[in-house]
Amino acid sequence: MVTDVDELGLAGLDPKATVVVATGNAHKLDEIRAILAPIMGGMHFVALSELGDFPDPVEDGQTFLENALIKARAALDETGLAMAVADDSGLCVDALGGAPGVHSARWAGRHGDDDANNDKLLAELASVPEGRRTAHFHSTVVLVLRDEKGERVLSGEGDCAGSIGRVRRGTGGFGYDPLFALDEVTGRTMAELTPAEKNSVSHRHHALVDLASKL
Which residue blocks in the chain are alpha helix, DSSP H?
A: 26-36, 64-79, 114-124, 195-201, 203-212
SS3 content of the chain, % helix, strand, coil (to 5): 40, 25, 35
14 given a catalytic annotation: no
* Whole-number Å distance between alpha carbons of 6 and 183: 47
Interior CA angle at 32 toward 207 and 203, to 5°? 35
Q: Which of 14, 77, 87, 88 is catalytic?
A: 88
Cα–Cα distances in angstroms (integers) from residue 149 to residues 29, 78, 82, 152, 180, in the given order: 29, 20, 12, 9, 43
- At 97, the amino acid letter reads G
* Whole-number Å distance between alpha carbons of 181 and 184: 9
* Whole-number Å distance between alpha carbons of 85 and 167: 33
Q: Give catalytic residues, as residue numbers.
A: 88
